[in-house]
């Protein structure tokens, strides 16, 4: 019996050493980190955009097209983002109309051919006006008088761009052709973002008080 006690102690010591080594070399996996929650500024930005878009004719289109932008709850940044969205869509539309104008055969429908050509012409003008508006927005700064001067240019050019977009669809009134539906549906989408941008610009301009 006396001989067995040291052996038992040795075995227990060896077992405890093995358990300790195994636990140290194979630690428990870390608990999963919680999923990130929306940042307060991002949430506030979206609320600001949603509220601002309620002043437009197409609030859902407005929010959908602008909710991904960081505008820092600044109406000037929001208006500039809206102009940028409008420029992108109007440019895309101008290229689309130019393409169908070049490749489609309208020998049997000269009225449709004329409408497509006129649509391209007015969209090309609209793109120039929207691009000029975006350039003016980037020049804002300095005195209130200077800001109002630039914003007045933006209001004039964006209003002209909206008229040009509407002129495109008006040109298809007497056209009975499949292309009419496609062009007009696309033009209406550009009209909505253009109208929204103009409304946001007007809202921003009205917030700037003369000294």
Residues 32 and 194: their CA atoms lie apart, in Å, by: 46
pTM: 0.78
Residue 201: CB atoms within 10 Å: 25
CA distance 161 to 155: 10
The C-alpha atoms of residue 66 and residue 80 are separated, in whole angstroms, by 10
CA dist., res. 182 & res. 21, Å (int): 72
Per-residue pLDDT of the chain (211 residues; tens, 9 = 90+): 444 444 433 433 444 444 344 444 433 334 344 434 445 567 899 999 999 999 999 999 999 999 999 999 999 999 999 999 999 999 999 999 999 888 766 666 788 888 999 999 999 999 999 999 999 999 887 777 888 899 999 999 999 999 999 999 999 988 877 888 999 999 999 999 999 999 999 999 998 865 5
CATH top class, domain 40-207? mainly alpha
8 A C-beta contact, residue 129 and residue 156: no
By CB atoms closer than 10 A (0-12, 13-18, 19+), residue 116 is buried
- The residue extents of the domains of the chain are 40-207
């Amino acid at each position: 019996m006396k001989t067995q006690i040291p052996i038992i102690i040795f075995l227990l010591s060896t077992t405890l050493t093995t358990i300790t080594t195994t636990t140290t070399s194979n630690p428990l996996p870390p608990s999963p980190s919680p999923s990130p929650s929306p940042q307060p500024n991002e949430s506030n930005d979206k609320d600001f955009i949603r509220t601002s878009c309620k002043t437009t004719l197409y609030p859902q289109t407005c929010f959908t097209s602008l909710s991904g932008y960081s505008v820092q709850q600044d109406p000037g940044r929001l208006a500039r983002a809206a102009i940028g969205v409008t420029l992108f869509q109007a440019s895309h539309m101008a290229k689309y109309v130019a393409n169908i104008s070049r490749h489609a055969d309208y020998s049997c429908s000269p009225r449709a051919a004329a409408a497509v050509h006129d649509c391209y012409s007015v969209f090309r003008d609209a793109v120039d006006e929207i691009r000029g508006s975006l350039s003016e927005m980037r020049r804002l700064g300095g005195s209130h008088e200077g800001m109002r001067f630039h914003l007045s240019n933006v209001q004039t050019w964006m209003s002209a761009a909206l008229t040009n977009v509407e002129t495109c669809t008006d040109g298809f009134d007497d056209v009975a052709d499949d292309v009419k539906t496609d062009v007009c549906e696309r033009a209406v989408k550009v009209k909505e973002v253009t109208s929204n941008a103009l409304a946001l610009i007007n809202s921003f301009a009205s917030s700037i008080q003369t000294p």
